[in-house]
C-alpha cells in the first residue's frame, strides 16, 4: 500500500518505520522536521496525503487534528482510509470523521495503548471507531503496528475507549504508588510486597507489568531513572479528557477527578518530562 503518515514524533516515527519495514511505501511529514527510518519525507501534510491508499495521523490534540484534517482531506481520494491514532476529545474525533465521510473517505479514530516501547516493538493495542468497511481497510496496518485491534463501534468509539482505559490506568498507578510508599514506611520489603500483590487481589498492570518501584518486577521506566515510556504530562492530558467527557455526559467520576488533580500537582512540581509512574518519588518525600 501507499501510505501517508503525518506526525513523526516519539510514537509516530517508529509506527511509520514499522509500516515501511513491512514493505509498504510510506511518505511522512512532521512540522518539526523529524524523520523516520525507511520513510520518504514530504514537504507538507497535504503532499504526504496525496495519492495514498491510507493516511495515518498521530497528533498532539484535537485542535491540531482539526487543522491538519482541513488541510489533508481535500488532497485524499475517495475510499482512502483516514486513520487517526491521536488521543483527542471525542467531539473532535467525530467532527473530523464527519468531514471525512462527506469527502468519501473511510475514517477510523484509532488511539493506541502501549507507549513508546509498544510503538517500537509493534505491540500496540488499537481501539478503533468507524464503519466496518473502514476498520477492515485499516486492520492490516494495525496488525503491523500492533498486537491487537478492537473495533469499538462507530466514529468516536475508539477515543471513548481510550479515555476510559487511561482513566483506569491513572487511578491504578496512583493506588500502586501509594501502596508501595506506605509499604516502605511500614518497613515492608518492596520485593516481598510485589510477590504478594502481583499474585493477589491487588494485582493489576501497574503492579505486574509496569511496577513504579525500581528493581521490582519486569523492567520498567523506574529502572531507568523514570525516563518516560508514558510521560506524566500525557497522563494528565488523558485524565483531563476523561473529565471533560464526564462533564459533557453528566457522568460521575470522583476518583478520576482526584487523580487528575494529583497528576496536575505532580506535573507542576517537577514531574514534566518524567514517566507517570515517577509519582512514587513524590509520595515517598511527603509525610
Distances (CA, A) of 64 to 60, 71, 93: 7, 11, 11
Q: Which of 2, 137, 148, 162 is catalytic?
A: 162
Can 285 be counted among the known catalytic residues?
no
Render pLDDT for 86-104 as a digit per residue (tens, 0 to 9).
999 999 999 999 999 999 9
pLDDT of residue 117: 87
Helix (H) / strand (E) element for 28: namely strand 25-29
Render pLDDT for 142-188 as a digit per residue (tens, 0 to 9).
999 999 999 999 999 999 999 999 999 999 999 999 999 999 999 99
CA dist., res. 126 & res. 138, Å (int): 11
Beta-ladder partners of 281? none
Domains and CATH numbers, the chain: 2-154 (3.40.50.720), 160-285 (1.10.1040.10)
Burial 31-61 (b: 16+ CB within 10 A, else e): eeeeebebbeebeebbebbbebbbbbbbbee
Contact indicator for 205, 231 with CB cutoff of 8 Å:
no
pLDDT-based confidence at 266, cuts 50/70/90? very high
Count of Cβ atoms closer than 10 Å to residue 182 Cβ: 12
Determine if the pTM surpasses 0.75.
yes
Amino acid at each position: 500500500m501507499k501510505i501517508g503518515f503525518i506526525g513523526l514524533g516519539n510514537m509516530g516515527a517508529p509506527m511509520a518505520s514499522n509500516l515501511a519495514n513491512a514493505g509498504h511505501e510510506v511518505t511522512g511529514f512532521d512540522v518539526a522536521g523529524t524523520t523516520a527510518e525507511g520513510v520518504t519525507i514530504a514537504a507538507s501534510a497535504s503532499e504526504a496525503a496525496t495519492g495514498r491508499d491510507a493516511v495515518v495521523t498521530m497528533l498532539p490534540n484535537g485542535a491540531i487534528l482539526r487543522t491538519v484534517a482541513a488541510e489533508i482531506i481535500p488532497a485524499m481520494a475517495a475510499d482512502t482510509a483516514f486513520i487517526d491514532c491521536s488521543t483527542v476529545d471525542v467531539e473532535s474525533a467525530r467532527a473530523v470523521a464527519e468531514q471525512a465521510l462527506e469527502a468519501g473517505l473511510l475514517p477510523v479514530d484509532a488511539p493506541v495503548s502501549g507507549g513508546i516501547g509498544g510503538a517500537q516493538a509493534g505491540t500496540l493495542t488499537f481501539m478503533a471507531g468507524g464503519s466496518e468497511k473502514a476498520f477492515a481497510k485499516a486492520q492490516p496496518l494495525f496488525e503491523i503496528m500492533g498486537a491487537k485491534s478492537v473495533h469499538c463501534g462507530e466514529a468516536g468509539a475508539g477515543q471513548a475507549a481510550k479515555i476510559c482505559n487511561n482513566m483506569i490506568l491513572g487511578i491504578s498507578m496512583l493506588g500502586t504508588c501509594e501502596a508501595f510508599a506506605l509499604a516502605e514506611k511500614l518497613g515492608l520489603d518492596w520485593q516481598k510486597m510485589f510477590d504478594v500483590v502481583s499474585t493477589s487481589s491487588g494485582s493489576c498492570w501497574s503492579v505486574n507489568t509496569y511496577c513504579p518501584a525500581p528493581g521490582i518486577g519486569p523492567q520498567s521506566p523506574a529502572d531507568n531513572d523514570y525516563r518516560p515510556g508514558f510521560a506524566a504530562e500525557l497522563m494528565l492530558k488523558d485524565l483531563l479528557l476523561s473529565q471533560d467527557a464526564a462533564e459533557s455526559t453528566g457522568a460521575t467520576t470522583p476518583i478520576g477527578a482526584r487523580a487528575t488533580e494529583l497528576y496536575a500537582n505532580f506535573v507542576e512540581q517537577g514531574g514534566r518530562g518524567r514517566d507517570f509512574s515517577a509519582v512514587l518519588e513524590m509520595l515517598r518525600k511527603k509525610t
